[in-house]
Amino acid sequence: MKTNSVLGIDIGGSGIKGAIVNVKTGEMTTDKYRIPTPEQSTPEAVVKTIRQIAKKFEWEGPIGVGFPGVILHGVVKTAANVDDGWLNVHLENLLEKQTGSKNVAVNDADAAGLAEMKFGAGRKNKGVVIMLTVGTGIGAALFTQGKLSPNCEWGDICLRGGIDNAEKWASDAARKNYDLTWEEWIQRLTTYIQYIENMFWPDLIIIGGGFAKKLEKKGVPFETRTKIVPAQLLNEAGIIGAAVAARKLLKSKK
């Protein structure tokens, strides 16, 4: 690859976003372009949307994709917030057939974590760092000595003696479903975060997703022994990290 530019794509439950990223500097070199996630978010519909974004940028180079689920060797293994038809679909092969572009697919929280570790709040931290993305769901990424351990599905952890699934109990969707006050929601998130820190004893926890903006405005409200900071790249982290993942992995495949 002679260029530092990669098209980064972030697939979300409500929107699919993309931008061209300079993976050497971490800067988006175009404005972010967003298309609502198709109501029937089948593989064909989502890949068609990604193709629209690539066409918008007249893009023919490599693509990095962040997907809301476990990705093993390019194959989708879980699909919590998109159509069940994604299960066992080889996303990378399907996208290459539709766009003609070489691409790499990674878990969306892993993508956001890669961006924060390279360009954001986790930069130069060589200890154990956990990235938690708090939005409609809860995503997680684990780094040790700067290396990613992929596909940490910690939103499925059961809290309170196995009574509650963390994502269904403490996410932003749960806040809305249970009509929680700010204080009630913080208490639930604190319980979840304390559980995570007791399992892994991290040096740093980075909070991303939509919740990061709230932390910027209100400060970090959690009572934990671990230092907690908001993500610096906010909603751009998924796009940037997906591009970074593609750059690294595609170089290794040459």
Q: What is the pLDDT of residue 218?
A: 82
Q: Is the pLDDT of residue 80 over 80?
A: no
Of the candidates 169, 145, 149, the residue with the CA atom closest to the CA atom of residue 157 = 169
Mean pLDDT of the region 243-252: 79
Per-residue pLDDT tens digits for 54-68: 999 999 999 999 999
Q: What stretches of the chain show up as alpha helix (H) in DSSP?
A: 43-56, 91-99, 108-119, 166-170, 172-177, 182-200, 211-218, 237-252
Residue found under tokens 């969707």: 173
Per-residue pLDDT tens digits for 112-167: 999 999 999 999 899 999 999 998 889 999 999 999 999 998 988 888 766 678 98
Q: What is the pLDDT of residue 1?
A: 45
Residue 191 φ then ψ, to 5°: -60, -45
Please answer whether residues 156 and 165 qualify as being in contact, where contact means their C-beta atoms are separated by less than 8 angstroms.
yes
User: What residue ranges define each of the domains in the chain, with the CATH number in brackets?
Assistant: 5-110+236-252 (3.30.420.40), 124-232 (3.30.420.40)
CB-based contacts of 110, cutoff 8 Å, min separation 6: 66, 141, 148, 150, 151, 152, 241, 245
Of the candidates 193, 187, 93, 77, the residue with the CA atom closest to the CA atom of residue 133 = 193
Cα 175-205-180 angle, rounded to 5 deg: 10
More confident residue, 251 or 172: 172
